[in-house]
Chains A and B, each alone.
Chain A
Amino acid sequence: MNAVNRRIYLYNRYERFWHWSQALLVILMMITGFEVHGSYKLLGFGNAVNLHTVAAWTLLTLWAFTIFWQFTTDEWKQYIPSLKKVDAMVRYYAYGIFLNAPNPFHKTAAKKHNPLQRLAYLALLSMVSPVIWGSGLFYLFYSSWKSLGIDAWLSLEAVAFVHTAGAFMMLVFFIAHVYLTTTGHTPTAHIKTMVTGWEEVD
């Protein structure tokens, strides 16, 4: 908090838009999804189904643009995993953070995510998302199963099982993710960065 602070522009406008709209949609999908699942009553089953479905299509559209963006800007490389310094990160979160040890990772525009984050996001992209999307699309087109002959080899029960498993993974990711945003140099620093795009670094 003094003159040595530098500010770097970490997240550009599209990136922030994409992040927050995705966050909103995922929260909405979790709220409505678990209502459809029968975990509680909130909006009413029919409303939950409708919202969940609209959110699914919106997310799909958002992703189409984002994938395009990732590749045209080379930002996809942010998710290439590296095992370097993973142990240092684990050690930092396991006890360094309590001892006021410095964060072993320094953000730069070229490397926005720490190695642990990279692994987590990659896992999300390569495991959780396909599970949710794959099962979600089958669920979405349930009314066409018969005409496509899908009902002969697939049951709604199985699709719902896989989808719900994905939803639980997403929820656990969400909890950990939100918590870890508070581990910046102030509890809200990371969140501010994602809002303004600017990160204060030392």
Chain B
Amino acid sequence: MLSRLKFILPLMAAGALLAAPTASAVPAEPAAATAPQLETIIKPKASTADHSKFKELNRNFQTGPQVTEACLICHTEAAKQVQHTKHWTWESTDPKTGQVRGKKNIINNYCTSPVSNEKDCMACHAGYGWKDDKFDFKVEKNVDCLICHDQTGTYRKLPGDAGHPVYKRVEFPKGSGKFVEPADLKKVAQSIGMPTRSNCGSCHFFGAGGNGAKHGDLDASLQHPGKYLDVHMDEKGLNFTCTTCHATSSHEVSGSRYNVAAAVKGPAHIRGKQDESPAACQSCHSDKPHHEAMLNQHTEKLACQTCHIPEYARNEIGTEASWDWSQATIMGADGKPMVSKDSAGRRKFDSKKGTWVWDSYVIPEYRWYNGVSTYKVIGDKIDPSKTVQINEVGGAPGDADSRIWPTKVHRGKQPYDKVNNYLTVQHTAGEDHTALWHNYDWQKAIGAGMKAAKLPYSGEYGFVDTEMTWPITHMVAPKHDALACEQCHSKSGRLQGIEGVYLPSRDSNKWLDMIGWTLVMLSLIGILIHGGLRIYTGKNKGQHK
């Protein structure tokens, strides 16, 4: 008997042990399955060309276009390549819907539209001289090579110069007492290198005109990030640059919110493979990156980002949650324009622009998303009785190409044409008498903006609530900071409003629960009565005949 037991016990234990690894749902220790480890990441190597040794660049350049002409002597195809990209055209055609979007064509709920404001906005155009609708997109010397390739960190483009860098010492912002020095274009040209985080960040960290304002997952803290903020860009760790993921060929940068690879399937990519979406997590990690089947199975419903970016704007820089343009043109008590900041020093009110609400460590809003967004482009009709969606994110529960994505939803209140029912283009920036930021007159600003956009304006404007939805994909947290199971698997978890999935712990059949617990209660009451009666009749004390 004893020997039989001895035999059985270990077998049972073995059975349980064998079973355990198939069962575990909580990540086992080292979970980075397919991504290359630290030691194997190749540090950026020095280029084979030292640009300071080229006689073509050993000149005192007066302007940006002069530098570009010098670049093109050797890089004969570079400008043509750039001219095919969004960085140049500010236009993007959706491969699925055919809709033509891009900064040039949409109206967002931050600065709204560059149209009629080109002189300011084009500080972030990879070109020189786009100041109105007469800009010639074929002139090669107007491609700005330096904004992406400068390695001195001295090359700056300011609003007002239509994309030209600072050529003369200038006070910026005006009246601030701070001055920006012109860059030595010769030094800049001789410093040339591959784009670093600062190059990309000089525009992309400051979208909507403020550090972190627009994206929420992109801000200047990514210049020197620690591991907590970004496990890939961690300066002391993997130290990725933007282009490590946004792999680029022929100046075409991969990965774009206009065309998101929302549900990449299959194994990690290898060198030589045709790569459709190198910027997606799966291109290094595959769609089965965990040791546990149960976790891998989650990738059929969830984007990686959903668990691995538990919060965005994870710093004091924060990001804008809302922008209310209807408050613009309100003056201070003295009748003069005024500005104010919130307790963290972030813009809160500006008579030119309205009010903002900022947020840090933001919990994303989750949406089914298939990577296709349909935008409101200039002239699209709106229904002002509802919150206007600047972009409708496509996708549906159960759709094979949709995943649950984390998003930043930016809420706005912005002008629209009350008769024609479309969002308006307004002339905000500039020194002329119609510019909102100069004369604080909405009527004139909208009139001028609509004229530039070649759109009829009824003369009646109002303000409408808008929402813009941004998929969150940067600031990937270290694995220990990823969401824990119960943050979604619970009654009031992150995915509360997400339909189309049965989520154990969140979902259950109300009827079954009611009937089940009623039966349980009834049996408990039954034994209480039965047991009570037994005690009461006092005849169950062990004595028997």
Contacts and interface: CB of A to CB of B under 8 A. Distances in A.
B509 A164 contact: yes
B293 A37 contact: no
B100 to A, nearest CB: 37
Residue of A13, A61, A97 most packed against chain B (CB within 10 A): A61
Contact of B19 (A58, A155, A179): A58
Interface in B493-522: 502, 504-509, 512-513, 515-517, 519-520
B11 interface: yes
Contacts of A109: none
Contacts of A97: 534, 540
A38 B486 contact: no
Contacts of A17: 5, 8
B19 A38 contact: no
Interface stretch (A39-47, A74-82, A117-125, A127-135): A39-47
A21 B11 CA distance: 14
B542 A1 contact: yes
Given A46-B484, A57-B23, A62-B12, A38 B293 contact: no
Interface string B461-489: 00000000000000000000000111001
B15 A175 contact: no
B300 interface: yes
B523 A157 contact: no
A50 B18 CA distance: 13
B527 interface: yes
A49 interface: yes
A185 B512 contact: no
B533 interface: yes
Interface string A174-189: 0110010011011100
Contact of B519 (A37, A47, A102, A172): A172
A60 interface: yes
Contact of A46 (B1, B485, B502): B485
Interface in A157-202: 157, 160-161, 164-165, 167-168, 171-172, 175-176, 179, 182-183, 185-187, 202
Contacts of A98: 533-534, 537, 539-540
Contact of B502 (A14, A50, A157, A165): A157
Contacts of A37: 504-505, 508
A65 interface: yes
A38 B505 contact: yes
B504 A61 contact: no
A164 B514 CA distance: 12
A13 B1 contact: yes
A14 B486 contact: no
B25 A155 contact: no
A126 interface: no
Nearest to A202: B544
A49 B25 contact: yes
Nearest to A25: B16
Contact of A57 (B16, B293, B491, B544): B16
B294 interface: yes
Given A161-B509, A185-B542, A46 B516 contact: no
Nearest to A165: B512
A47 B16 contact: no
A46 B2 contact: no
Nearest to B511: A161
B293 to A, nearest CB: 4
Contacts of B542: 1, 185-186
Interface string A137-173: 0001011101000000001110011001101100110
A61 B11 contact: yes
B247 to A, nearest CB: 30
B502 A57 contact: no
A111 B486 CA distance: 48
Nearest to A178: B527
A197 to B, nearest CB: 11
Contacts of A41: 486, 490
B35 interface: no
Contacts of B8: 14, 17, 65
B43 interface: no
Nearest to B26: A46
Interface in A29-77: 35-38, 41, 44-47, 49-50, 53-54, 56-58, 60-62, 65
A45 B531 CA distance: 36
Nearest to A49: B25
Given A14-B8, A175-B527, A182-B531, A168 B1 contact: no
B49 interface: no
A38 B508 contact: yes
Contacts of B507: 38, 157, 160
Contacts of A61: 11-12, 15-16, 19
Interface in B69-114: none
Interface in A99-127: 99-100, 102
Contacts of A45: 484-486, 489-490, 504-505
Given A102-B545, A142-B297, A179 B530 contact: yes
Nearest to A93: B530
A140 B2 CA distance: 34
B288 to A, nearest CB: 10
Contact of A44 (B24, B486, B526, B540): B486
Given A13-B5, A38-B508, A175-B527, A144 B16 contact: no
A165 B516 CA distance: 7
A47 B26 contact: yes
B139 interface: no
Contact of B24 (A50, A65, A185): A50
Given A38-B491, A54-B23, A46 B486 contact: yes
Contacts of A50: 20, 23-26
Contact of A54 (B20, B523, B531): B20
Nearest 6 Cβ contacts at the A-B interface: A57-B19, A53-B23, A61-B15, A168-B516, A143-B297, A100-B539
26 contacts: A21-B12, A37-B508, A38-B506, A38-B508, A44-B484, A45-B485, A46-B485, A46-B486, A49-B294, A53-B23, A54-B16, A58-B15, A61-B11, A65-B12, A98-B533, A99-B539, A144-B293, A155-B502, A164-B516, A165-B516, A168-B520, A171-B520, A172-B519, A179-B527, A179-B531, A185-B544
Given A13-B1, A61-B19, A172-B519, 9 more contacts: A13-B2, A38-B489, A38-B507, A38-B508, A54-B19, A57-B16, A57-B20, A93-B530, A155-B502
Interface of A: 1, 12-14, 17, 21, 35-38, 41, 44-47, 49-50, 53-54, 56-58, 60-62, 65, 93, 97-100, 102, 140, 142-144, 146, 155-157, 160-161, 164-165, 167-168, 171-172, 175-176, 179, 182-183, 185-187, 202
